[in-house]
Amino acid sequence: MDMVMLSRIQFASTTIFHFFFVPVSIGLALIIAMMQTMYVVKGDEQYKKMAKFWGKLFLINFAVGVVTGIIQEFQFGMNWSNYSRFVGDVFGAPLAIEALAAFFMESTFIGLWIFGWDRLSKKVHLVCIWLVAIGTTLSAFWILAANSFMQRPVGYQIVNGRAEMNDFFALITNGQLLVEFPHTVFGAFATGAFLITGISAYKMLKKQDTEFFKQSFKIGIIVAFVASFLVAIFGHQQAQYLVHTQPMKMAAAEGLWTTSDDPAPWTVFAAINTDKQSNKYEFKVPYALSFLSYSKFSGEVVGMKELQAEYEQKYGPGDYIPPVKTTFWSFRIMVLAGTLMILLGMYGVYMMARKKLDKLKPWYLNAMLFGISLPFIGNTSGWVMTEFGRQPWTVFGLMRTEDSISPSVTAGQVLFSTISFTTIYSILGILAVWLFVKVIKKGPNAVDQAHTVKANDPFAREGQQ
Amino acid sequence: MELSELWFVLVGVLFVGFFFLEGFDFGVGMSTTFLAKTDGERRVLINSIGPFWDANEVWLLTAGGAMFAAFPHWYATLFSGFYTPLVVVLLALIGRGVAFEFRGKGETEAWKKTWDVVILLGSMLPPFLFGVVFANLLQGLPIDKNMEMSAGLFDVVNAYTVVGGVTVTVLCLVHGLLFATLRTTGTLQERARKQAKTLLVPLAVLFVAFAIMTYTMTDIFEARGTILTIMAVLGAIAFVLSGYYMSKKRDGWAFAMTGTLIALAISGVFVGMFPNVMISSIDSAFNLTVYNAASGAYSLKVMTIVALSLLPFVLGYQIWSYFVFHKRVHEKEHLEY
């Protein structure tokens, strides 16, 4: 396998794996902070128990997120040194700020939160978890500012063949960022919320600690519904933005080889043939693509063949069509997952509003358990669509993926690192899930075995009276 | 002073911060194997760094981010050039981070033993490999005219760099043992102090060997002989004082002295390199310098404003967190890890 492909596999596996844990951290931090706020405001011990129980899952998850994040930062220099040289001036800044502004904050205050239950006043301790929540969200802002530059480069000029920053404000008000950040962050909130509601639903089904999990479900389902709904709203915004800034990605996501009619129908399903550049068995909904692209029921959408001709003129000869099938299907999987999330959330909120949570049927509780996987599917396929759809570019219109790799690194080295990292990821993934299950099985009332003191030390008794 | 020079200093400060802070938790990590005798002691040691290690590691991330933003060429050449060692560092840091979190969550002996090995390797390999990398920075590396470094295994691993790696590792271990004396009690505390004292002799030998090799095998003393000599003398004084304070059982001061030693050693590397950030062994014309590896003036200005306005807060709340957890860790209390 060649270097470009290996480097891409490594990047994809690292990023996808890392992004299983990141949204859970962002989402859980917010919801735990909400629970603990209820505890401090109402003084009800039940909420403290909630913050502690969900906090256990949060910490297992956070640890994996943190350690895989280190690779995330190092791999640009390791595997993509040409890219780093070319854009470091612009791209490095948000990464450095992410570390300074967000990583320090979340890592310090998570330490204070874990170890500070008995050492800090209630209010200060509450501030700590909120700062963790703000830190994780800030960190998403900065890394997405960097990613948005790759999707739509702004605030730079080319000097001596390198991109140099000339407008920091443009970088952090990048139109792409303004739609990508809320879309991603609400997706993360939904991920945490579906995790909590899914586990709660399972426990309610099993009739274990029902009251505790019903309370958790209540908080979670509101976040789940509101966040899923907002994900869709900002997703729609992003699609409209895409039509203008990365029309090729949009055309690929729609499997649109030639420019559409006006009004444009939306292809729900198609068998795509990339060699013949045509589709079979298309199932189309009239007007829908026009609405998706422009929020009105008219307007054509430009197809890939036309764009290819346009880009050849602009950027020289080359293949500017991204992997169409991957882009097309990942988009549909994402939309389907999102739709199911909204429906599940809506029904849950409806039942809660009618005070019928005790009467939730097993089919719904089981569906919510399965629902835990939906945000993960949505997040992953969303990123696959975004990053595959940008190909052949790393920075759209500026730098190609094949030119971005490290010239001094050999394919063997990348193969070695890819195998090592993916092995570690698999082990970590299995362990994290196993520990999750263990904590969930024990439930909120279990006395932590590992934390009880064994009196095998003759001096152990002193000070205990 | 040009902004790129200021950023060279800042990157240096971030690495000093990283080695000073993560240095002790690497040391405490190693001591879970070398010092602790029982599971209880191991847990006390892990919990003594529990609230801190994650934030300490962020110093490394920030140093990496700062290099990326302020010196893209330095970041690109260094990280791609030291590809394999960095893969090992990453694997080690991954293992170590989750080990702290996961170790206490299982009950079986095998589970704990496995994580103990991971903690040992995860705490020993990074300081060793960083030591190797820093020694290489002083020694010079095969960097061509395109700023690409293609070093074979034996360019990177040789007597000089191995001595550098071992020195950093032992230094971190002593520093960590002294940190343990500050956060533990009873026999564990006494044994930590004793072990730190025993390690002073080998550490002195390593330092002297490394200094002599640096003097004879690199040319950094030629350019900055005076200031480096002064730093070496200060380092020797700090070293002697740390031994003195250990014997007087004034652990805080002893810890401050090994910290000073770390700060002097790491900043010595930066002083020795300046204005180069990576020295080419092929032709000094190919050196990466503070000037040819840096970002544009605008970028550096933005980053300077951001960094100088955020750093006081970061330092403030980190220092506060050490203040909150100043009490010693007991085996009898509730242990998180």
Residue of A nearest to B298 (CA): A166
Distances (CA, A) of A134 to A28, A86, A216: 12, 31, 21
Residue B265 · residue B171 · CB < 8 Å:
yes
Residue A293 · residue A261 · CB < 8 Å:
no
3-state secondary structure of A208: coil
Q: Which of A77, A74, A64 is nearest to A19 (CA)?
A: A64
Q: Which of A304, A289, A315 is nearest to A249 (CA)?
A: A304
Residue A260 · residue A221 · CB < 8 Å:
no
pLDDT, residue B298, reads: 94
Shortest distance between the Cα of A452 and any Cα of chain B, in A, equals 7
Residue of A nearest to B327 (CA): A119
DSSP H or E run through A309? helix A304-315
Buried b (16+ CB within 10 A) or exposed e, B237-259: ebbebbbebbeeeebeebbbbbb
Residues β-bridged to residue A271: A280
Shortest distance between the Cα of A165 and any Cα of chain B, in A, equals 6
pLDDT, residue A460, reads: 42
Q: Which of B91, B63, B190 is nearest to A418 (CA)?
A: B91
Residue A161 near chain B (CB below 8 Å): no
Residues β-bridged to residue A393: A400
Most B-contacting residue of A97, A157, A403, A457 (CB-CB within 10 A), to test interface: A97
The answer to whether the Cβ–Cβ distance between A100 and B78 falls below 8 Å is: no
The answer to whether the Cβ–Cβ distance between A84 and B79 falls below 8 Å is: yes
Residues β-bridged to residue B191: none
Residue pLDDT, tens place only, B189-199: 999 999 999 99
Residue B168 · residue B127 · CB < 8 Å:
yes
Chain A environment of B71 (Cβ under 8 Å): 88
Residue pLDDT, tens place only, A351-376: 999 988 888 899 999 999 999 999 99
pLDDT, residue A187, reads: 97
pLDDT, residue B224, reads: 86
pLDDT, residue A1, reads: 67
DSSP H or E run through A157? strand A156-159
3-state secondary structure of B52: coil
pLDDT, residue B74, reads: 95
The answer to whether the Cβ–Cβ distance between B107 and A450 falls below 8 Å is: yes
- For every residue of chain B, which 3-state class applies, written as one string? CCHHHHHHHHHHHHHHHHHHHHHHHHHHHHHHHHCCCCHHHHHHHHHHHCCCHHHHHHHHHHHHHHHHHHCHHHHHHHHHHCHHHHHHHHHHHHHHHHHHHHHCCCCCHHHHHHHHHHHHHHHHHHHHHHHHHHHHHHHCECECCCCCECCCHHHHCCHHHHHHHHHHHHHHHHHHHHHHHHHCCHHHHHHHHHHHHHHHHHHHHHHHHHHHHHHHHCCHHHHHHHHHHHHHHHHHHHHHHHHHHHHCCCHHHHHHHHHHHHHHHHHHHHHHHCCEEECECCCHHHCEECCCCCCCHHHHHHHHHHHHHHHHHHHHHHHHHHHHCCCCCCCCCCCCC
Residue A368 near chain B (CB below 8 Å): no
Report pTM. 0.92
Mean pLDDT over each residue of chain A, to the nearest integer: 91
DSSP H or E run through A271? strand A266-273
Amino acid residing at A167: D
Whether cis (ω within 30° of 0) applies to the bond prior to B72 is no
Q: How confident is the model at residue A455 (pLDDT cuts 50, 70, 90)?
A: very low
pLDDT, residue B220, reads: 83
Q: Which of A414, A66, A435, A57 is nearest to B94 (CA)?
A: A66
pLDDT, residue A447, reads: 60
Q: How confident is the model at residue A452 (pLDDT cuts 50, 70, 90)?
A: very low
Q: Can you tell me the distance from the alpha carbon of A69 to that of A99, in angstroms, rounded to the nearest whole number? A: 11
List Cβ<8 Å contacts ≥24 apart for A424-432: A424/B91, A424/B94, A424/B95, A425/A13, A425/A14, A425/A17, A425/A68, A428/A64, A428/A67, A428/A68, A428/B94, A428/B98, A429/A17, A429/A20, A431/B98, A431/B102, A432/A21, A432/A60, A432/A61, A432/A64
Across the range A108-119, mean pLDDT stands at 91
Token pair recorded at residue B286:
């190919």
Kindly tell me the number of DSSP H helices and DSSP E strands found in chain B: 12, 2
Given a cut of 50, the residues of chain B with pLDDT beneath it are: none
Across the range A221-246, mean pLDDT stands at 95
Q: How confident is the model at residue A445 (pLDDT cuts 50, 70, 90)?
A: confident
Q: Which of residues 166-195 of A touch B (CB under 8 A)?
A: 166, 168
Q: Is the ipTM of this complex over 0.85?
A: yes
pLDDT for A456 beyond 70:
no
Higher pLDDT, B178 or A460: B178
Residue pLDDT, tens place only, A35-71: 999 999 999 999 999 999 999 999 999 989 888 989 9
Q: What are phi and psi of B274, to 5 degrees?
A: -50, 140
Residue B148 · residue A408 · CB < 8 Å:
yes
Residue A59 near chain B (CB below 8 Å): yes
Distances (CA, A) of A358 to A46, A200, A348, A444: 18, 12, 11, 20
The interaxial angle of helices B83-103 and A45-79, nearest 10 deg, is 170
The answer to whether the Cβ–Cβ distance between A431 and B102 falls below 8 Å is: yes
pLDDT for A122 beyond 60:
yes
Chain B environment of A82 (Cβ under 8 Å): 76
Buried b (16+ CB within 10 A) or exposed e, A334-344: bbebbebbbeb
Kindly tell me the burial class for residue A37, based on how many C-beta atoms sit within 10 Å of its own C-beta (0-12, 13-18, 19 or more): middle
pLDDT, residue A450, reads: 45
Q: Can you tell me the distance from the alpha carbon of A362 to that of B61, in angstroms, rounded to the nearest whole number? A: 47
Amino acid residing at B171: L
pLDDT, residue B107, reads: 85
3-state secondary structure of A279: strand
pLDDT for A465 beyond 70:
no
The answer to whether the Cβ–Cβ distance between B75 and A92 falls below 8 Å is: yes
Token pair recorded at residue A265:
């129908």
Chain A environment of B54 (Cβ under 8 Å): 66, 107, 110-111
pLDDT for A463 beyond 80:
no
pLDDT, residue A262, reads: 85
Smallest Cβ distance to B310: which of A59, A63, A100?
A100
Residue pLDDT, tens place only, A237-282: 999 999 999 999 999 999 999 998 888 998 888 899 888 888 888 8
Residue A169 · residue A155 · CB < 8 Å:
yes
